[in-house]
């Protein structure tokens, strides 16, 4: 049986029937027939109308530690990395899996064997031919080194490479969401002759120096403190791609500076711009700048308060529940974020086809929170406090993390809980602390990705408790949860998977979710077409193909989250042909 453009399940996925909001009703029309698009979503290979070749796209980066998506998740690496490296698959405008390096594939009737046929005569940036051995090496490298590589490819029992353009995967169990893991953001095609030299992949020098990729753009300039410049790969294996000559990412850490650069026309496109609500409103009034709410639904970007469950008081479920009652997500949405969010309900963002609004919620109730803390053994002491803890605040996404952390600090003070805010000076400092489990609680954020097996399970799986950022760093472990997640991960029937995912918040965390902050993508189909490969939500921006919303959530069991003040995506409307700068 040949399956082109869908996951293993034969049943057409349908969204849960409890969607009621106008925006989501609109999204349901676009998402019907497939799961949502991932961060590395890409354009359909059909050329966009009015596509123009040439020119430079000016973006920005807040900083990056590596350009290799095989060892690091997140937008900082994923945005440029998924242009530097190709993937086996990509996701089209209709949310269907589409060919990329793999020009075709077949799936056995029992769904345990997947055979890929690769595009012949494809080359890495150094001219070396890409073969099946490189694909095998890449999958094994991701499984070993990616923060949730084991969750994506743990059921791949063995890999055969009968010839240079054929790769055969043998699965121990059917994996409905497997095809979504073959996008460049999640499984970049790496050159074995470069990375297979025995050096540890996570610290390999070629992750940042003399990077040899497989994608539409090559690294021309890499100055991590200043800027990253990618140039067109003239030997790219997809005819007529890419359309752009160059992509420039100056390092711009300050959100206000990004706003000014957008107003001046120094930035053309700003995904994950990190805008405050008032900045977004300001740009909406700026001539030539477009701010829209499209572009994030498939990613499911969430911000949350993560607690280290290894130590008291957060090891006590009653304490976590009390904090959930103390934090008013509606207030955060309406007051702190100016109404640019909507209330959510659990660990799945509202744009996810497995999302359900029919889950228990923690109503704001300070009296009940105080009572629960008393009963849990944390009464107000002689010093006037119940307990104290340090809340780490990352340097990234300050427009979301800082106001949320300050709100939590003030709100918990009303319960006689002392919260000390520790603001990280840079990304590396924060990562080192969290990955070492050396923290009480931290503001954090991550992606749902297109399938819960990829983006959600990693936070709850006992086997994923490891010193890697965006794994299960909080130390949550529940055998009942593992059983549910494992069953959902291999269930081929969409409705049964939806049911299993819907009950997770009830069983384990009684999840609370903040609403979504969005503002994002730009519609510029008259400007140029994206190269047809994945990165970020460029597809929705360039061809208005991908509607998306950001979801912010609030887990109470392992993460009490706080909110999805995502970041805004802004695009400056420019001439039909982007001028080189």
User: Model confidence at 49, in pLDDT bands (50, 70, 90)?
Assistant: very low
Hey, which residues does 305 pair with through a beta bridge? 443
Give the separation between CA 280 and CA 287, rounded to whole angstroms: 13
User: Model confidence at 234, in pLDDT bands (50, 70, 90)?
Assistant: very high
Identify which has the larger pLDDT, 500 or 269.
Answer: 269
The reply to whether omega before 242 is within 30° of 0 (cis) is yes
User: Model confidence at 539, in pLDDT bands (50, 70, 90)?
Assistant: very low
**CATH assignment, 47-293:** 3.40.190.10
Identify which has the larger pLDDT, 271 or 427.
Answer: 427
Identify the top-confidence range among 21-35, 287-301, 526-540.
Answer: 287-301
Output the pLDDT for position 97: 80
Residue whose structure tokens are 């698009």:
37
Long-range pairs, 380-383, Cβ under 8 A, ≥24:
380/416
Output the pLDDT for position 139: 98
User: Model confidence at 305, in pLDDT bands (50, 70, 90)?
Assistant: confident
Give the separation between CA 119 and CA 552, rounded to whole angstroms: 39
CA dihedral 492, 494, 498, 500 (to 10 degrees): -20
Output the pLDDT for position 413: 98
Percent of the chain clearing pLDDT 90 (strictly above): 40
HEC per residue, 418-458: EEEEEECCCHHHHHHHHHCCCCCEEEEEEECCCCHHHHCHH
Q: Is the pTM of this model over 0.85?
A: no
Answer whether residue 162 shows pLDDT above 90. Answer: yes
Do 362 and 556 contact (CB within 8 A), yes or no?
A: yes
Output the pLDDT for position 358: 73
Q: What is the largest CA-CA distance in the chain?
A: 75
Q: What is the mean pLDDT of residues 468-488?
A: 84
- Going by DSSP bridges, is the β-strand pair 113-118/417-423 parallel, antiparallel, or unpaired? unpaired
The residue count for the chain: 581
User: Model confidence at 409, in pLDDT bands (50, 70, 90)?
Assistant: very high
User: Model confidence at 296, in pLDDT bands (50, 70, 90)?
Assistant: low
Q: Which residues contact 41 (CB under 8 A, 6 or more apart)?
A: 90, 91, 183, 298, 534, 536, 537, 538, 539, 540, 546
Answer whether residue 84 shows pLDDT above 90. Answer: yes
Q: What is the mean pLDDT of residues 143-150?
A: 90
Q: What share of the chain is helix, strand, coil (3-state, %, to 5)?
A: 30, 20, 50
Hey, which residues does 552 pair with through a beta bridge? 514
Identify which has the larger pLDDT, 189 or 562.
Answer: 189
Identify which has the larger pLDDT, 265 or 136.
Answer: 136
User: Model confidence at 53, in pLDDT bands (50, 70, 90)?
Assistant: confident
Indicate the average pLDDT of the chain: 74
Cα separations (Å) of 325 from 75, 170, 330, 385, 537? 32, 47, 12, 18, 35
Identify the top-confidence range among 163-172, 302-311, 335-344.
Answer: 163-172
Answer whether residue 278 shows pLDDT above 60. Answer: yes
Q: What is the mean pLDDT of residues 483-491?
A: 76
CA dihedral 346, 349, 353, 354 (to 10 degrees): -30
Q: What is the mean pLDDT of residues 223-234?
A: 96
What are the residue boundaries of the structural domains of the chain, listed by start? 47-293
Output the pLDDT for position 536: 26
Q: What is the mean pLDDT of residues 544-565?
A: 23
Output the pLDDT for position 498: 58
Residue 251: strand, helix, or coil: strand
pLDDT digits (tens, 9 = 90+) for 324-360: 899 887 888 788 777 766 665 666 776 666 777 777 7
Answer whether residue 567 shows pLDDT above 80. Answer: no
Answer whether residue 187 shows pLDDT above 90. Answer: yes
Give the separation between CA 511 and CA 355, rounded to whole angstroms: 12
Answer whether residue 245 shows pLDDT above 80. Answer: yes
Residue 377: strand, helix, or coil: coil
Identify which has the larger pLDDT, 28 or 365.
Answer: 365
Give the separation between CA 461 and CA 482, rounded to whole angstroms: 6
137's tokens: 């090496």
């Amino acid at each position: 049986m040949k399956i082109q453009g869908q996951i293993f399940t034969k049943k057409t996925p349908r969204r849960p029937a409890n969607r009621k909001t106008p925006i989501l009703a609109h999204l349901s029309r676009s998402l019907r027939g497939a799961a949502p698009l991932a961060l590395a979503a890409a354009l359909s290979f059909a050329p966009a109308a009015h596509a123009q070749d040439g020119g430079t796209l000016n973006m920005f980066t807040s900083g990056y530690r590596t350009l290799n998506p095989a060892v690091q998740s997140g937008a900082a690496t994923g945005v440029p990395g998924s242009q530097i490296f190709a993937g086996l698959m990509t996701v089209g405008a209709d949310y269907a899996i589409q060919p990329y390096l793999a020009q075709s594939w077949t799936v056995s009737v029992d769904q345990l064997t997947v055979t890929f046929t690769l595009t012949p005569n494809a080359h890495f940036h150094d001219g070396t031919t890409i073969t099946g051995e490189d694909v095998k090496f890449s999958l094994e490298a991701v499984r070993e080194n990616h923060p949730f590589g084991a969750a994506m490819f743990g059921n791949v029992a063995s890999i055969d490479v009968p010839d240079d353009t054929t790769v055969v995967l043998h699965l121990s169990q059917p994996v409905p969401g497997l095809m979504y893991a073959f996008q460049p953001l999640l499984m970049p095609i790496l050159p074995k002759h470069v990375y297979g030299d025995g050096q540890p992949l996570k610290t390999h020098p070629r992750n940042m120096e003399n990077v040899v990729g497989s994608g539409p753009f090559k690294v021309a300039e890499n100055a991590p403190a200043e800027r990253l410049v990618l140039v067109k790969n003239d030997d790219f294996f997809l005819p007529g791609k890419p359309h752009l000559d160059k992509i420039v990412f100056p390092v711009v850490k300050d959100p206000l500076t990004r706003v000014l650069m957008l107003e001046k026309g120094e930035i053309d496109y700003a995904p994950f711009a990190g805008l405050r609500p008032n900045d977004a409103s300001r740009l909406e009034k700026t001539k030539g700048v477009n701010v829209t709410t499209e572009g994030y639904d498939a990613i499911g970007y969430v911000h949350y308060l993560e607690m280290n469950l290894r130590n008291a008081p957060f090891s006590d479920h009653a304490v976590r529940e009390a904090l959930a009652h103390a934090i008013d997500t509606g207030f955060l949405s309406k007051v702190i974020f100016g109404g640019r969010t909507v209330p959510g309900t659990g660990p799945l963002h509202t744009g996810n086809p497995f999302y359900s609004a029919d889950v228990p919620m923690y109503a704001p109730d300070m009296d009940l929170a105080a009572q629960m803390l008393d009963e849990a053994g944390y009464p107000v002491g002689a010093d006037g406090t119940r307990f104290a803890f340090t809340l780490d605040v990352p340097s990234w996404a300050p427009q979301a993390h800082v106001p949320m952390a300050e709100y939590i600090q003030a709100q918990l003070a009303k319960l006689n809980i002392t919260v000390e805010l520790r603001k990280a000076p840079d990304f590396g400092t924060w990562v080192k602390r969290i990955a070492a489990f050396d923290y009480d609680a931290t503001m954090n954020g991550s992606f749902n990705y297109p399938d819960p097996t990829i983006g959600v399970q990693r936070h709850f799986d006992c086997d994923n408790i490891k010193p890697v950022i965006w794994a299960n760093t909080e130390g949550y472990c529940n055998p009942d949860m593992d059983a549910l997640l494992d069953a959902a991960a291999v269930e081929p029937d969409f409705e049964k998977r939806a049911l299993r995912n819907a009950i997770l918040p009830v069983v384990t965390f009684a999840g609370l979710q903040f609403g979504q902050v969005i503002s994002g993508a730009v519609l510029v189909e008259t400007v140029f077409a994206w190269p047809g490969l994945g990165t970020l939500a460029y597809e929705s921006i360039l061809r208005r193909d991908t509607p998306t919303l950001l979801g912010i959530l609030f887990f109470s069991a392992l993460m009490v989250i706080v909110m999805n003040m995502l970041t805004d995506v802004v695009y400056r409307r420019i001439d039909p042909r982007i001028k080189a700068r």
